[in-house]
Structure formats: structure tokens, C-alpha cells
Amino acid sequence: MNTIIYKIDPSDLDMTKIKEAGQIIADGGLVGFPTETVYGLGADAMDASASAKIYAAKGRPSDNPLIVHIADLASLTDVALDIPEAAYKLARRFWPGPLTMILNKSSRVPLGTTGGLATVAVRMPSDPVALALIKASGTYIAAPSGNISGRPSPTLAEHMIEDMSGKIEMILDGGKVGIGLESTIVDLTGPVPMILRPGYITKSMLEDVLGEVTVDAAILEENADKNFRPKAPGMKYKHYAPKGDLTVVEGEPQKVIEMINHLTGQCQECGQKAAVIATEEDLEKYQCEQVFCIGTRAHEETIAANLFDILRKMDDMGIDVIYSESFYNGGLGQAIMNRLLKAAGHQVIDADTGAHKNCL
Ligand code: AMP
Ligand code: MG
């Protein structure tokens, strides 16, 4: 299949191209498009055979449900049932934006879109290209991240082209995404709202609107039980993994630098190609030849925005072994570390002792 690639200026939408993309979705085809979180791989959410094409293109396990994207609040009752007041409160505060809500699904949403679940994940994105595409399609758009299953999520059109060229009808190139981490997912079907995936909208931002909010035990380190079954089916799969062997080093900043210098020195002796992921503040302190700047601790959004791109760059350069600083500070820290630890297969080294920890 020849994949059409259109550049779209988000501040000056070319509606002829957007309409062509919307028609592809309406006809049951696949379009890669930018959102403010990451690039999505979209299909008609209301057509099970269209959703099935997403699973095939990504190589995604069929029990890992898709997020349904809507362009206005009135559409919520088309895709969800028994909508609690909490959903409207969150929508008023955070939509359009990087928040996905889990609600009971309406009968119109096929089980092929929800991975067989009776619940549906719904989001209204804020990216103008995404909103225009949903409207132009005349339907709702099921879209997971546009990467091949298991690879880092796409934050640039180039990443989508790398993973999906030849497999889908069209990619809309809206440039680099703003946030760079997938949406926060909150489950509103239980007695207390529960975060199933951390993201740009933090627990305290949700608590501000809803009062008590819990976090799925699968996200929290202290529940590192291998048999644990997370509520968001996607959480149990290997994610974001670079080809090189990635390990996160935790501890006091100076100790982390010393430990990483020691470890990359060993790699050099063994002839392995090593790389370090560090913030701007520490770049000069590493002896390794390849040091990747992920952003600055002063603005942790920069760390979020660069993470997936850096992991892909490591692949392009054929890096064998990667050591990363950890980035727990601030409101976005939980979301960043959730993705980084998954990318590392939860391999962590304690900078003080050199001991391997295995944490969720
Ligand atoms: P992705 O957009 O690739 O990050 O994938 C969507 C994420 O939403 C996956 O982690 C899914 O498991 C999660 N998700 C989608 N629908 C549901 C649902 N009904 N209940 C719980 N999690 C869901
Ligand atoms: Mg994904």
C-alpha cells in the first residue's frame, strides 16, 4: 500500500487534506494523525472491521482496547452509558485535553474496539488537526498510539512513517507533539475514581475536581507482584522498549553519575556500544562517548517531550547498553518514570550499592 503523507499546519488547517483523511476513516481505512499527547493510529471506532485493522497494523494483542476520540461533549452519550456527574466535571475542566475516561460503553460501540470489555475509554483531544479529523470523518475515531506494538510511542510524524509506512492509507504530519506522553487514564466505573495510567493530568489535578482519587496498584512500586492483573489491559504488555538493554540508575545525583561512569567504563572494556540518558544539568559530568540530553530538570515537560524520541534515536544508532538517570521530581515525574521503567523492563540499579532492584 502506498501511504500518502500530508504536512498540515495546525494553525492554518488545509481542509481539503483533512476532508480526504476523514473520508479514509469513514470508508474503513487507517490514518496516522497528531494529538497533543502522541501520534495516534486512527480508524472508525464504530466499525469493528476498521478497528481490527489497527490491531493488525500495530501487531497489538486483541485484548488491549483502543481509546475512542470524540470532538464535542454532546458525543459522549453516543459512546457511553450511565455517565456519572464526575465525568462531566472532569470534561469541563480538562477537555479538550490529555485525559481519557473509562465509562460503561453504549451498545453502539463494538466489542472489537473495546477489546471485548463492557467499558469504553473516551477522550476529546485538543490538537486542532485531531479535532478537525474527527469532525471530518463524521464518526468517532478509535486510536491507540501509532507505534508498532512494544516500540516507543511516536512523538514526530517521522516515527509514524518509520513504523506504519506501507501499512496504512495516510499520515498527517503536524510536526512534533506538545506533551510527548500518552493521556492520563481514569476509571470512573467504580465507587472511587482510579488512575489506570499516569499522564500530564496528575492525581492532584484530578483530586482538585473530584476529591478522593486512587491509583491502580499496578502503577505503584510497592505492589511489584508479577501475578498482578492491571485494570488497563495495556499495562501488562511490554512497552516502549528500545533495542538496547536499558537500565535506570536511582539514588543521590552525585552517586548516580559515579555509578553510570563506572558502568559505561565497563561496557567500553567489553567493546559494547553504551549510551547515557541525562538532563542538561549533568551532561558534562559523564565520560561516556554517547550522552543524550533528555531535557532540563527545571522544566520537566521537556523530559516528557523528548523521552520517546531519544529511545528511538538509540535504536537508530545501534546502541547496545543504555543507562538512564531517574526523573522522579515534580508533578509529571510519576508519568515519566512509569514509561521509563517499562522501557527498561523494570531493570533498576541502586547507585549506592550497585544492587539490582526490580521494581514496577
Ligand atoms: P494506547 O493509546 O496505545 O496507549 O492504548 C490505550 C490504552 O488505554 C491501553 O493501555 C488500554 O489498555 C487502555 N484502555 C482502553 N480502553 C480501556 C478500558 N475500557 N478499560 C481500561 N483500559 C482501557
Ligand atoms: Mg500505546
Q: Ligand 1: does its nearest atom lie under 6 Å from the Cβ of 41?
A: no
pLDDT given for residue 357 in this prediction: 77
Summarize the confidence of residues 100-116 as an average pLDDT.
97
Query: Per residue in 228-249, pLDDT tens?
Result: 566 777 666 668 889 999 999 9
Work out the pLDDT band at 226, boundaries 50, 70, 90: low
| Pairing, β 194-197 against β 321-324 | unpaired
Summarize the confidence of residues 102-128 as an average pLDDT.
97
pLDDT given for residue 223 in this prediction: 44
Summarize the confidence of residues 83-90 as an average pLDDT.
98
Work out the pLDDT band at 268, boundaries 50, 70, 90: confident
Q: Ligand 1: does its nearest atom lie under 6 Å from the Cβ of 117?
A: yes
Summarize the confidence of residues 7-25 as an average pLDDT.
98
- Select from 35, 54, 66, 119 the residue to mutate for testing ligand 1; criterion: most ligand atoms less than 8 Å from CB: 66
Q: Is the CB of residue 147 less than 8 Å from the CB of residue 154?
A: yes
- Residues 254 and 352: their CA atoms lie apart, in Å, by 10
Q: Distance from the CA of 253 to the center of ligand 2, in angstroms?
A: 31
- Which segments within 118-210 are labelled E, that is strand? 119-123, 141-142, 170-173, 184-187, 194-197
Q: Ligand 1: does its nearest atom lie under 6 Å from the Cβ of 332?
A: no
Angle between helices 333-343 and 300-316 (to 10 degrees): 10
Query: What does pTM read for this prediction?
Result: 0.94
Q: Ligand 1: does its nearest atom lie under 6 Å from the Cβ of 64?
A: yes
pLDDT given for residue 239 in this prediction: 81
Position 278 pLDDT exceeds 90: yes
Work out the pLDDT band at 331, boundaries 50, 70, 90: confident
DSSP, collapsed to helix, strand or coil, labels residue 164 as: helix
Beta bridge mates, 100: 185
Q: Which ligand is nearest to the CA of 101?
A: 1
Pick left, alpha or beta for residue 46 (phi over 0 → left; psi -120 to 50 → alpha; otherwise beta): alpha
Q: Ligand 1, closest atom to CA 197?
A: 10
Q: Distance from the CA of 165 to the center of ligand 2, in angstroms?
A: 18
- Residues 129 and 13: their CA atoms lie apart, in Å, by 7
Query: Per residue in 183-225, pLDDT tens?
Result: 999 999 999 999 999 999 999 999 999 999 999 988 865 444 5
Q: Is the CB of residue 129 less than 8 Å from the CB of residue 10?
A: yes
Higher-pLDDT residue of 329 and 243 is 243
- Residues 158 and 309: their CA atoms lie apart, in Å, by 10
- Select from 36, 41, 51, 67 the residue to mutate for testing ligand 1; criterion: most ligand atoms less than 8 Å from CB: 67
Kindly tell me the burial class for residue 349, based on how many C-beta atoms sit within 10 Å of its own C-beta (0-12, 13-18, 19 or more).
buried
CA-to-CA separations, 203 to 163, 190, 234, 293, 327, in angstroms, rounded: 32, 17, 20, 28, 17
Q: Distance from the CA of 325 to the center of ligand 2, in angstroms?
A: 23
Mean pLDDT of the chain: 94
- Residues 300 and 294: their CA atoms lie apart, in Å, by 10
pLDDT given for residue 62 in this prediction: 86
Q: Distance from the CA of 320 to the center of ligand 2, in angstroms?
A: 24
Q: Ligand 1, closest atom to CA 40?
A: 2
Position 18 pLDDT exceeds 70: yes
pLDDT given for residue 356 in this prediction: 86
- Residues 235 and 64: their CA atoms lie apart, in Å, by 9
Summarize the confidence of residues 73-77 as an average pLDDT.
98
C-alpha 4, offset from chain centre: 24
Of 142, 140, 143, the C-alpha closest to 75 is 140
Position 68 pLDDT exceeds 90: yes
Work out the pLDDT band at 358, boundaries 50, 70, 90: low
| Pairing, β 40-44 against β 31-33 | antiparallel
Position 114 pLDDT exceeds 60: yes
